[in-house]
Every structure is written in structure tokens, then in C-alpha cells.
Amino acid sequence: MITAPVSTTPTRTTLYQRSVAHYWDSEHNAVNVALGEIDGLHHHHYGIGEADLTVLDAPEAVREARINTELHRLEQAQADLLADHLGPVTADDWLFDAGCGHGAGSLVAHSRFGCHVDGVTLSPVQQQAATHYAERLGAGEQVTFHTADMLSTGLRTGAYTASWNNESDMYVDLDDLFAEHARLLKRGGRYVAITGVINDLHGMASRSVSRINWHYECDVHKRGAFFKALARHRLAVTTVIDLTHAALPYWRLRERSSHLATGIEADFLAAYQEGSFQYMLIAADRI
């Protein structure tokens, strides 16, 4: 097996990045922990697709478990959609998961393609847990997680067939981010993002978007800025899917699931419904 040389601790982290690392080191929301225990895939992103709201009326003894299973199914659908857009990947290829959380996206890609994956997170707690989950699923040899800054990973230049950010671009400067993806990707490699962006037509961040930024200590980008930054870094857009409508059922179900709701649900619903915020899949080729 080829091992990718990486720095084990992020060098020159900013005060902001230390704060983000601290947030994720100490984040143990049931919506992430309980859902991940269903099958060992701990997604830290939202979900898409129609939801079966009848789970809310299930008998009390099984209600929470049924809600968890339904929300997890929608999260899995999002991870699958992202993997659908990674392009042709073989078992010999290497993929890069930027802002990997507990590594579920890397594990989904590995189980589909049998490939190698390097995932990076700022949080050492997440990195250790992700490594544990990969080993538990028998993927520890090929899927490796690092505590590293996705803006300067130390990973190998031009070695990656595909890379992605699933709900993690809003913590970083887009020029720095796409410069690193462009460095890591082979020519012809594929970059995929699933992310929430400000609708430029609406203007600046709405009140709900500002609350989302406050809640997660992040700074979501404008849609237009995202595309301009991709173009500046040899990432030519090939696919754009507006997932805003498909994201609503997840939030509606989560808002009514008192054992899981974190308090940010109403803001996501308001932001999507008023049109100030959009949930997007954006894929680009490294040219």
C-alpha cells in the first residue's frame, strides 16, 4: 500500500481554526451520534429527498428509532448523490475528503469504489473517531484520516482522482480552498461540493443565514463567488443541481423530532423558503 505523507498536526492554525476545531472536538449532538450508530456511518451533513413523516406518529416505544432511521436514510441519500458525481473511480485511485468530520463520506466512497481515501479534519477528536469507524468497517487500510488544515494538507500533488467538500467549504476562504484542491487533483480529476450558499439575488446574508453562521461559527459563501473562485483555480463547472427543494423534508422532519432538534431547524426552513439561501451540488473538472 502507498501511504500518503501528511503532517499529523496542522501547522500555523489560526485562532479561528482553533475555535472551529474546539467546536467539532466537543460536538456530540444526538442527531450525529445516534444516527451514526445505526450502521457505523456518522454523517455530519443534512439530508435530501422525500421524507416519510408517518414515523412521527409511530408508537412511542419505537418512534425515536424510526425517526432516526428515516433521517439517516436521507443523509445517506446525500452522501450517495455526492459519490454519484465523483466520476469514474477505480480501486487503485485516491480520493480526498476535505473537512471529513467523522469520515462517513470517505467510507461511502470506499465501499462503492474500493478506492483509497484521505480525509482531513481540524478536530483531533473527529480524526480519532473516524479512524475507529473505518477500522470497525474493515476499511482502515485504505481510508486514512488526518488532523490537518484542508487549505494546506501536505498531501501529494496531482495524486487524486476526485475530491470534495460536503458541508465544509463555509469555514474557509474559497481561493485558498480551491488552490489546494487544484494542486491535489490530477488533470481531468473531479471536484464536488454539496453546500449551502447565499442567493446573490437576495443580497447579503439574511437574518436566518446570519443565525446559521452564528450557530456553526462559519461564514457561508455567495453562490456567484463560489463559481468565480472555481474558475480562478482551473476548476471548470460540469454539473449544478439546486437541491433546495429536496432539502426541505429533512428539515421539516428534524424540526418535529424533539429528541434530535438542535434549535437551528426553523432558520434553515425560513432561509430556504424565503429564497435567501440555496442548497447546491456543484461539480467541476480539474482542467
Binding-site ranges for ligand SAH (CB under 6 A): 17, 20, 24, 43-45, 99-101, 104-105, 120-123, 126, 149-151, 166-168, 171-172
Q: Which is nearer to ligand SAH, 63 or 156 (CB)?
A: 156
Radius of gyration over alpha carbons of the chain, in Å? 18
Task: Give least dist CB 166 to ligand SAH, A.
Answer: 4
Structural contact between residues 228 and 173, judged by C-beta atoms closer than 8 angstroms: no
Tell me how far apart the alpha carbons of residues 80 and 65 are, in angstroms, rounded to a whole number. Answer: 22
Are 183 and 261 in contact by the 8 Å Cβ rule? The answer is no
| Least gap, CB of 55 to ligand SAH (angstroms) | 22
116-121 and 160-166 beta bridge pairing: unpaired
CB 60 within 8 A of CB 259: no
Cβ nearer to ligand SAH, comparing 67 with 150? 150
* Shortest distance (Å) from residue 254 CB to ligand SAH: 15
Instruction: Give whichever of 101 and 249 is closer to ligand SAH, judged by the CB atom.
Output: 101
| Shortest spacing between CB 217 and ligand SAH, in angstroms | 10
Nearest distance from C-beta of residue 175 to ligand SAH, angstroms: 13
Beta-ladder partners of 278: 197
**Minimum CB distance to ligand SAH, residue 44 (Å):** 3
C-beta of 99 vs 249, nearer to ligand SAH: 99
**177 DSSP β-pair partners:** none
Of 110, 107, 115, nearest to 133 by C-alpha is 107
Q: Which is nearer to ligand SAH, 195 or 257 (CB)?
A: 195
Distance CA(101)–CA(159), nearest Å, equals: 22
Find the shortest distance in angstroms from Cβ 59 to ligand SAH: 31
Give the dihedral of Cα atoms 201, 48, 111, 36; nearest 10 deg.
Answer: 110
Sign of the torsion formed by the C-alpha atoms of 55, 32, 109 and 142:
negative
**Closer to ligand SAH at the Cβ: 93 or 169?**
169
Q: Please say which residue, 111 or 202, places its beta carbon nearer to ligand SAH.
A: 111
Distance between CA 113 and CA 182 in Å, rounded?
22
Look up residue 23 and give its three cell numbers: 467546536
Q: Locate 236 and state its grid cell.
A: 471548470
Indicate the residue whose CB is closest to ligand SAH: 101
Query: How far apart are the two ends of the chain, measured CA to CA in Å?
Result: 28
